[in-house]
Amino acid sequence: MGSESLDPIGFPNDWDYFTIGGFASPGVAVVHEFKRRHEFDVKKSKGVYGATITFIGRPPATGRIQLIFFQTAHFVSWAGFRPLLKYNPTKSAVQAVDIFHPSLDDIDIKSVVCESIGNIVHEGNKKYTVEIEFLEYFPPPPISAVSTPTTSAPDTDPNKPGVEPDPVGDANDKQIATLLGQASMP
């Protein structure tokens, strides 16, 4: 359930925490930016406009979450929560954990490993913070995901505001594609 179901205006309390393995984070969570990146190889030719782009991968997303503590109960909860974020590979294998927050669900982040945990920092005015950095976990797909787009799909949804069919532009695009096809023939 992403932001369309749990928007921060209608459901502000659901944005104040995240869950790891089903356990709610203590205090108030501030989820900073996680970026869903897509990697492309851009091949440019000399003397022409444009380039050929090839999708070559989707690296794991990274980001950080700040926890804010301002009640004694937050520190007690933190003592039980932080072991979910620690690893000791001499005792057991490093295990990814399920994570949920509406903003992370929007970009399909479902599982993470903890890259770092900061110490508790006093910010003043009886406010304390902890920074946690995460790396998304997802194994590679069984098949290659390399793909070269051949064209863009026009958005002709008549119910979408501001989108109008462009017959002249569509005809020009078709003619350009035909000319490019002819130019690439031996």
Residue 162 has pLDDT above 60, yes or no: no
Among the residue ranges 24-28, 130-134, 153-157, 168-172, the one predicted with the least confidence is 153-157
Parse the chain into domains and list their residue ranges: 12-156
Q: Which of 85, 79, 112 is nearest to 98 (CA)?
A: 112
pLDDT in tens, 72-93: 999 999 999 999 999 888 888 8
Beta-strand ranges (E) seen in the chain are: 19-20, 23-24, 28-31, 39-44, 51-57, 62-69, 97-100, 111-117, 121-124, 127-136
What is the SS3 assignment for 137? coil
Q: Where are the alpha helices (DSSP H) in 42-101?
A: 72-81
Report whether 102 contacts 149 (CB < 8 A). no
CATH class of residue range 12-156: mainly beta
CA distance 107 to 61: 9
Residue 13 has pLDDT above 70, yes or no: yes
Report whether 59 contacts 37 (CB < 8 A). yes
CA distance 98 to 20: 6
Q: Which of 49, 119, 112, 107 is nearest to 78 (CA)?
A: 119
Per the document, the length of the chain is 186
Among the residue ranges 28-37, 43-52, 76-85, 107-116, the one predicted with the least confidence is 43-52
